[in-house]
Structure 1
Amino acid sequence: MKQHGRTTFSPMCGLLALGLIGCGSAEDAFEPTEDAPPGTSRAALTAYEQAALDTANNAASCTPLGNFYWEIGNAAGTLYGIPRGSGVSATTVMPIASASKWLYAGAYVQSKGYANLTADEKKRLNFTSGYIDESTTLCGVAGTTVSDCYGPGYKDVSYRSLQNGRFFYNGGHMQKLALDDIGARKGTGVASVMDWINARLGTTLPESDSDVAPAGGFSGSAAHYRVFLMKLLSNQYELSSKLTVDSVPAWEGGTNVSYTPWTAAGQAYYGLGHWIEGETVSGVWTVTGHSSAGAFGFYPWVNAARNRYMLLARSRQLGGDAEGEKSRVCAQAIRKAYELGVAQP
């Protein structure tokens, strides 16, 4: 793939332990340049940046999304960022919904060490444990603990033996994991959930009362979340080299899939707290990236080669689960435009 004077890396494989998945295609890594920092005039933009900007503003997949912020970068930092519309920037704090799952999984694996994870812990992280919540109530009342959130007053998590070993996308798996590990912590104050998360991830995510729901209650900005993604790329986490391990089918009709919100065409898998995206090439399903889209539209992503990250930050809380998929489609269109230097329709 032609890139604008930036270094390329060799391909690397992302094999899932399912016997179905081939190597991710090599993607060029970008190195920071002095081309044009976000917010400069059109005249200062490269053709690649202009193509990304035009796609964000005009593509059919992006125009219905309202205001958002998109950026792409690598382990060294942001390469290019686009605020579409007004009111959303890299530092705008918003609820990130299920994008929380990747953060919590990263912190949990970091705290335990991957080699020390039990089979049950892995099943709670890849959503095959059988622990399902009965309510979508957000545990956002001040003073609520993780343990309270697990209980009948909020999430009311229960064990369903018939779902054990089957993929059921639901926050109850992680709620049970957090109950056993950080059950006494609250959303804010001394010994908060976010204190625990930030200490393990090296991040500075803000506290909120709803943090006691670790599968969907966190808040943050693109600037907060990019730190996590950059550290993933630079192998600073236990999870960095484990993005395809313990993965299970997660698309409608996949083997042992009970419930999935995945609506895009083709297959998808679920690893430890995140989606594994891909495409079928010559009959072989190939990893293209990893993500954790939130129901309100926050979409973080890293590519299969782990040399690039991307974020689309927005919050549309009345749109339902489809908002995450809408953000994914738009974000990927902008990325394609940036890589090719050709605006996408």
Structure 2
Amino acid sequence: MKYDRRKTLISARGLLALGLIGCGTAEDAVALLTDAPPGTSRAALTVYEQAALDTANASASCAPLGNFYWELGDGAGPLYGIPRGSGVSATTVMPIASASKWLYAGAYVQSKGYANLTPDEKKRLNFTSGYIDGNTTLCGDAGTRVSDCYGPAYKDVSYRPLQDGRYFYNGGHMQKLALDDIGARRGTGVLSVMDWLNARLGTTLPESDSDVAPAGGFSGSAAHYRVFLMKLLNGQYALSSKLTADAIPAWQGGPGVSFTPWTAGTAYYGLGHWIEGETVNGAWTVTGHSSAGAFGFYPWVNAAGNRYMLLARSRQLGANGEGEKSRACAQAIREAYQSGVPQP
């Protein structure tokens, strides 16, 4: 698999050779080109990078998605990244919706240690606890606490015994977990949810009133989320070695599945994230891990634990299956990058 390519858009040395920057740091170079229009350094692209760029701009999976930023990287940082269109860069902050789940699960497992998780805690992290929210009211009012978001004015979470032990994709599981662990924390200010999460993950995600909904209320940018994925690949979290732990069927019609939004064949759900795969010669094999957000923010790491991808976009008006659309586009870009052949 031809995946190791030079770091064209984030190499300060390469940019100097192109005459695109003068003096400055590598970080300056990243900031410059992540906001540059597509094609700025086209002549310097490898066939693999060009194939990925062409796929992002014109493939059937990506063309309808509007403007977005995408990047491929490894444990050391971005290998290649560029915006498609204008208005979205690596540093554009947006609501990440269910991409929050992976962050919260990572922070929770980090705080407890995997070996210390109880069976009930694991069930709340892989969505088999029976705690389901009754409505989708946003928890974005200033001054609310995690415990308020759990209650009837917002998520109205309740225990449903018939769903205990069955997979039901829903934020209520994590809202119950957070109620018991960080229920007094707020979205912003002293003792915020992000104070707790960033301290455990070594990240710098911004505060937002909606952070009190840990399964879907966080905001951030590709640059913020990148840090989490890099540390995940580098084995710096308790979750790093447990990405397939406590996995359960999560596809439509799967055993023990009550509700799932997954529509792309077989998939499993681990601790706060999807486990993606493909069937080869009759055998289903893990290909990666992800946590797509309802508005289109899509983070991913591969099964080998040496590559990540981010596709950052936010379409909140008229949104319908935006997370799945981003997943399909991201998969096409990866295939193009690996093969050097633009995907249709």
The alpha carbon displacement at 1:284 in A equals: 1.2
CA positional deviation for 1:5:
5.9
Separation (CA, whole Å) in 1 of partners of 2:306 and 2:193: 30
Provide the residue aligned with 1:315 in structure 2: 314
* Shift of residue 339, structure 1, vs aligned partner: 1.3
Partner Cα distance (1:131, 1:41) in 2: 50
Partners of 1:54 and 1:309 lie apart in 2 by 20
Question: Which residue is 1:328 aligned to?
Answer: 327
Partner of 1:245: 245
Alignment of 1:249-264 (within 5 A): 249-264=249-264
Q: How far off its partner does 1:213 sit? A: 0.1
- Equivalence map 1:16-35=2 (5 Å): none
Number of the residue aligned with 2:79: 79
Residues 148 and 339 of structure 1: CA distance in aligned 2, closer, same or farther (over 3 Å): same
Query: Mean Cα displacement is larger for which, 41-50 or 245-254?
Result: 41-50
1:162 counterpart SS class: helix
- Which stretches in structure 1 are left out of the alignment for 5+ residues? 7-29
- In the TM superposition, residue 35 of structure 1 has moved relative to its aligned partner by 5.4
| Equivalent pair of 1:296/1:319 in contact (CA under 8 Å) | no
Within 5 A, what are the aligned runs for 1:270-309?
Answer: 270-309=269-308
Give how far 1:219 is off.
Answer: 0.1
What is the distance in 2 between the residues matched to 1:88 and 1:328? 18
SS at match of 2:158: strand
- Residue identity in the other structure for 2:280: V
Q: Distance in 1 between matches of 2:3 and 2:273?
A: 29
- Where 1:141 maps in the other structure, the secondary structure is coil
The alignment's TM-score, normalised by the length of structure 2, stands at: 0.91
- In structure 2, C-alpha distance between the alignment counterparts of 1:251 and 1:57, rounded to whole Å: 30
Q: Distance in 1 between matches of 2:319 and 2:170?
A: 15
Greater Cα offset, 330-339 or 120-129: 330-339
The residue number in structure 2 matching 1:219 is 219
CA contact (8 A) 2:296 2:315 kept: yes
Match of 2:25 in 1: none
- TM-superposition CA deviations, 1:119-168 (whole Å, max 9, x none): 00000000000000001111000000000000001000000000000000
User: In structure 2, do the counterparts of structure 1 residues 339 and 191 end up closer, same or farther at CA, with 3 Å as the change threshold?
Assistant: same
Q: Which stretch shifts more, 114-123 or 32-41?
A: 32-41
Query: As a proportion of its length, which structure holds more helix?
Result: 2
Which residue identity does 2:78 align to in structure 1? T
Structure 2 counterpart of 1:24: none
1:344 aligns with: 343
What TM-score do the two structures reach when normalised by structure 1?
0.90
Aligned residue in 2 for 1:57: 57
Aligned-pair distance for 1:321?
Answer: 4.8
One-letter amino acid of the counterpart of residue 158, structure 1: S
- RMSD of Structure 2 on Structure 1 (CA): 1.6
5+ residue gaps, structure 2: 16-29
Percent same amino acid among aligned pairs? 83
The structural deviation recorded for 1:95 is: 0.1
Runs of 4 or more, structure 1, over 6 Å off, are none
Matching residue of 1:43:
43
Higher mean C-alpha displacement, 36-45 vs 74-83: 36-45
In 2: Cα distance, 1:125 partner to 1:98 partner = 13
- What does residue 101 of structure 1 align with? 101
Deviation of 1:2 (Å): 3.3
Give me the whole-angstrom Cα distance separating, in 2, the residues matched to 1:5 and 1:320. Answer: 35
Aligned residue type for 1:326: K
CA deviation string 1:218-246 (max 9, x = no partner) = 00000000000000000000000000000
Deviations 1:186-237 (A, max 9, x none): 0000010000000000000000000000000000000000000000000000
Q: Give, in whole Å, the separation in 1 of the partners of 2:47 and 2:14.
A: 10
* Structure-1 separation of matches of 2:45 and 2:206: 33
Once the two structures are superposed, residues 48-97 of structure 1 have per-residue CA deviations (whole angstroms, 9 ceiling, x without a partner) of 11111111111011111000000000000000002000000000000000
Between the two proteins, the alignment pairs up a number of residues equal to 321
Instruction: Give, in whole Å, the separation in 2 of the partners of 1:213 and 1:87.
Output: 27
Q: Tell me, yes or no, if the aligned pair for 1:35 and 1:45 is still in contact at 8 Å.
A: no
CA contact (8 A) 1:261 1:321 kept: no
Per-residue deviation, 1:3: 4.6
